[in-house]
Structure 1
């Protein structure tokens, strides 16, 4: 994925979603070669094996390993994960629209935002306490919300900011009592690298050449 033409990356990001493109960029080359054609474009493993010079079982094994990374392992049970997802989803949505009331509604009154220094404007505070301060800081950076997508971040519902699928920062978000209780903006490269990033959803499978596909090992 990395190193492609910007226009190709923009099309792919629109097709598969920003979060999936970020995670694909984290896969090893061999994993991408096996996973992307099959899971995203429906190419049979026989063809993938012929192109890569690997056996069909080896190609399937690589795709299975990649698929596990792409999907991740949520640390919350399904119902609780979905409740957290609804809360987190409302956050960038309100930010994109500049909706002050909606932001205040989704944030706990004593919410705290912590951020790596590179993620805030020069001289800006790395910690913002209280909903009003967090809303003001969020609205200052509302342009970022247009490149924000939900993702699993270390097993919980969070978000990635990734223009054209290139990770700028990840948001670790804590939800309590139906609101965002705190969140951390992780932007330093050395802190982003060990993050466990995965997607919340894979697109439904379509014909090769279109976007894009959930996995079926039997092909």
Structure 2
């Protein structure tokens, strides 16, 4: 490729980098793997003849999708050996991400966890169609299926996700209010207050990755979840504090033990009560909470 071609390739890649990262992250749930996918995408992109590419953005999304699919299939096997529940890697995001309802929902911990239940191809089709509004023909080219097959996969994946996603998207202010009630109840050791903000069917999922202590199975029910939190605090040798932050476009708590980061607690809120708590303690997944990660759907 000529210097002019290299400059054009670089300029186009940089212009769409945040979009490509978001595509890869939504498919993989891992920032580290998404970065690897972007590196692989770049290496393929610089070998492309720019003059023969009609829609450079679509072409880049196609390469990124294919590389993500390859990695996702390998990751599925890797996760079978993971110790305890697996949660997506939390990303510190700018407050304006929370104002973009579509983006905030698509990268929320709750929805990302639902996407884990899809097959790799279903996940790719769902993400490209629902989050990024990519056309069926373009998705078909990216996943190696016919447009008709992609329509069927998209329908099946949408039904699967709709049955498991929150019934309605809550506003950031509603989520922050529930989070603050939860934080206050924890800090004051208020069992009644904790039970009031937790939905009866609340589920706690904690990810220690075999490195940090965490429940090896999801904990279900307000009473069990409340007593696990308060019981854990009573046995704690140190001061635990939670500071509000924005993770994956949604309100969350950055939890510190004696000033050191212990983990990130994200939540799912429905009808002003918490139905899901997602606590990431695995240190390998806490590398992206020191600085904001730019995300975009466009």
TM-score where L is the length of structure 1: 0.51
Aligned to 2:270: 176
Runs of 5+ consecutive residues of structure 1 not aligned to the other structure: 1-68, 199-219
Q: For 2:261, which of 154, 163, 167 is the aligned residue?
A: 167
Q: Distance in 2 between the 1:181 and 1:168 partners? A: 22
Could you report, residue by residue, the CA deviation over 1:119-151 in whole angstroms, capped at 9, with x for unpaired residues? Answer: 546xx4442111111011110223588411111
**Alignment pair present for 1:104 and 2:195:** yes
- Greater shift, 189-198 or 112-121, is seen at 189-198
How has the CA–CA distance of structure 1 residues 119 and 134 changed in structure 2, closer, same or farther, with 3 Å as cutoff? farther
TM-score where L is the length of structure 2: 0.38
Q: For 1:73, which of 96, 102, 107 is the aligned residue?
A: 96
The SS at the match of 1:159 is: strand
Aligned to 1:156: 250
Shift of 1:187: 1.0
Q: Distance in 1 between the 2:183 and 2:239 partners? A: 6
Query: Whose helix fraction is larger, Structure 1's or Structure 2's?
Result: 2
Shift of 1:73: 3.1
Could you report, residue by residue, the CA deviation over 1:95-140 in whole angstroms, capped at 9, with x for unpaired residues? Answer: 111111111100010000000135546xx44421111110111102
Shift of 1:164: 5.2
**Alignment pair present for 1:93 and 2:184:** yes
Q: Distance in 1 between the 2:99 and 2:217 partners? A: 28
How has the CA–CA distance of structure 1 residues 145 and 133 changed in structure 2, closer, same or farther, with 3 Å as cutoff? farther
The SS at the match of 2:98 is: coil
How has the CA–CA distance of structure 1 residues 164 and 139 changed in structure 2, closer, same or farther, with 3 Å as cutoff? closer
Q: Comparing both chains, which one has the higher relative contact order based on Cα–Cα distances under 8 Å and sequence gaps of 6 or more?
A: 1
- Greater shift, 75-84 or 101-110, is seen at 75-84
Count of residue pairs the alignment pairs up? 128
Contact 1:96 1:145 (8 Å CA) reproduced: no
How has the CA–CA distance of structure 1 residues 119 and 127 changed in structure 2, closer, same or farther, with 3 Å as cutoff? farther
How has the CA–CA distance of structure 1 residues 86 and 195 changed in structure 2, closer, same or farther, with 3 Å as cutoff? same
Runs of 5+ consecutive residues of structure 2 not aligned to the other structure: 1-91, 102-169, 293-298
Aligned to 1:64: none
Matches within 5 A, 1:118-157: 118-120=211-213, 124-142=215-233, 146-157=240-251
The SS at the match of 1:89 is: helix
Contact 1:155 1:196 (8 Å CA) reproduced: no
How has the CA–CA distance of structure 1 residues 70 and 172 changed in structure 2, closer, same or farther, with 3 Å as cutoff? closer
Contact 2:93 2:248 (8 Å CA) reproduced: no
Shift of 1:75: 2.5
